[in-house]
């Protein structure tokens, strides 16, 4: 199962880099949905062969919940937000796409370095910790380097995906209720952000958060 796990984690890192380098919002949402889809299989592939029957049920519930929320429901809500706000491209990020991609690549390298020097529990896959940390760091990068509010929501989703990957290290210590609670918190957060984006677009005819600075003072 480990080769499949490594493939999923490598795909998650590659999708993060793709999202950072893309200027098309729909492509970013589709990539985030694809990442949610592949990550839904991660728990059962990591722990399915070692788990009891009850734990397998928990793993399946986590996978189904992840697939339903991250790969289907949240992308649907984000596509609706794009349609309502009438936005097609992330034209002017705070930093250029080339510089963003370079920064993201550096963050991936740093994540692999962190996995070597930290005293974290030995994971079943050598890519598990780097994929988790790179998702968290790249999620932060997207949130602070993009002007469109909806792209920042994508950054928030990538950040949570990184936490989800890291949580697999502690699967046997984290009850099912906690994992599903995190998914619920993510969904609520996305819903609140979607409502905010809708109202910002309706009032100001754009969702460029940098232009909201003009409201200060």
pLDDT digit string (tens) for 161-188?
A: 888 888 787 765 555 545 555 665 666 5
CA atoms within 13 A on the CB side of 36: 28
Whether 217 is covered by a domain: the verdict is no
pLDDT at 116: 83
Whether 63 is covered by a domain: the verdict is yes
Residues sharing a CB contact under 8 Å with residue 42, sequence separation 6 or more, in sequence order: 5, 8, 9, 63, 165, 168
pLDDT at 50: 73
Whether 49 is covered by a domain: the verdict is yes
Distance CA 116, CA 205 (A): 47
Whether 57 is covered by a domain: the verdict is yes
Q: Which residue's entry shows tokens 């932060």?
A: 140
pLDDT at 155: 86
Task: Write the pLDDT tens digit of every residue in 90-104.
Answer: 545 677 888 989 999
pLDDT at 215: 47
Q: What is the pTM of this model?
A: 0.80
Whether 174 is covered by a domain: the verdict is yes
Our count of domains for the chain comes to: 1
Burial class of 55 by CB neighbour count within 10 A (0 to 12, 13 to 18, 19+): middle
Using CA atoms, how far residue 115 sits from 123, 129, 148, 205, 208, in Å, is 10, 6, 32, 44, 36
Dihedral of CA atoms 68, 146, 80, 186 in degrees, nearest 10, equals 30
Range of the domain at 21: 2-212
pLDDT at 181: 53
Distance CA 126, CA 112 (A): 9
> Which residue numbers in the chain have pLDDT < 50?
91, 177, 203, 207, 209, 212, 215-217
Distance CA 153, CA 142 (A): 9
pLDDT at 11: 95
């Amino acid at each position: 199962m480990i080769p499949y796990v490594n493939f999923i984690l490598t795909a998650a890192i590659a999708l993060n880099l793709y999202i950072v380098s893309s200027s098309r919002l729909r492509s970013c949402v589709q990539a985030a949905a694809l990442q949610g889809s592949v990550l839904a299989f991660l728990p059962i592939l990591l722990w399915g062969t070692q788990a009891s029957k009850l734990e397998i049920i928990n793993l399946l519930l986590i996978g189904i919940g992840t697939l339903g929320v991250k790969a289907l429901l949240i992308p649907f809500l984000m596509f609706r937000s794009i349609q309502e706000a009438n936005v097609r491209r992330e034209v002017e990020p705070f930093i250029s796409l080339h510089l963003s991609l370079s920064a993201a690549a550096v963050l991936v390298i740093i994540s692999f370095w962190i996995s070597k020097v930290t005293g974290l529990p030995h994971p079943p896959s050598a890519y598990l910790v780097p994929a988790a940390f790179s998702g968290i760091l790249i999620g932060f990068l997207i949130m602070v380097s993009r002007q469109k509010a909806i792209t920042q929501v994508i950054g928030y989703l990538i950040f949570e995906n990184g936490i989800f990957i890291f949580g697999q290290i502690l699967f046997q210590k984290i009850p099912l209720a906690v994992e599903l609670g995190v998914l619920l918190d993510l969904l609520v957060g996305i819903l609140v952000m979607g409502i905010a984006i809708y109202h910002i677009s309706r009032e100001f005819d754009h969702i460029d958060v940098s232009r909201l600075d003009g409201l200060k003072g």
